[in-house]
Amino acid sequence: MKVTEALVAEHVVLHNMFDYIERVLPTVRTVAEVRLLAALIEGVLIEHARAEESLLFGPLAHCLEQIGQRDTFELEHHEIDACLSAVARARSIREARRLLNAAIVACRNHFDHEERVVFPLAERVMKGETLAKLGAVWTKQREAAVA
């Protein structure tokens, strides 16, 4: 499996999780519950973001630089982290819900941006063999995380 395929598959799983959270969020009654949902997203996203940064953004840095987007995607990761952390500081259920919704929208836009720019770029400039090797590294990292 190519690393780009693995990362897109993770986006699909995350979109499904966001769909569920968006459905239940209006029924959640306490800030503590919203914080738990934010922590869940944070926990899943961290491994995904780490894999992207080491397996794609690093090797593609010079190509991303040429299109003026060298730091864009890592910056978006930091912005999403900041949005999710802000949920922990919310003082009302209304504010917590608004912040979590904003974090989910930021994630969805970020995934879309990667799927339009980074993954097609990787498919263009990297050999199929390289993408498969990086996919094998991704699999090893996931297996290590489960173990």
The residues of the shown chain that bind Fe ion, judged by CB under 5 A, are: 52, 114
C-beta closer to Fe ion: residue 18 or 52: 52
26-to-86, 92, 93 alpha-carbon distances in Å: 19, 14, 10
Residue 89's identity, in one-letter code, is R
- How far apart are CB 16 and Fe ion at their closest, in Å? 14
CA 46, 48, 51, 53 dihedral sign is: negative
Q: Which is nearer to Fe ion, 28 or 113 (CB)?
A: 113
- Nearest distance from residue 35's CB to Fe ion, in Å? 23
Beta carbons within 8 Å of 53's beta carbon, 6+ residues apart: 74, 77
Q: With respect to Fe ion, which residue has the nearer C-beta, 52 or 90?
A: 52
Smallest distance from Fe ion to CB 78, Å: 11
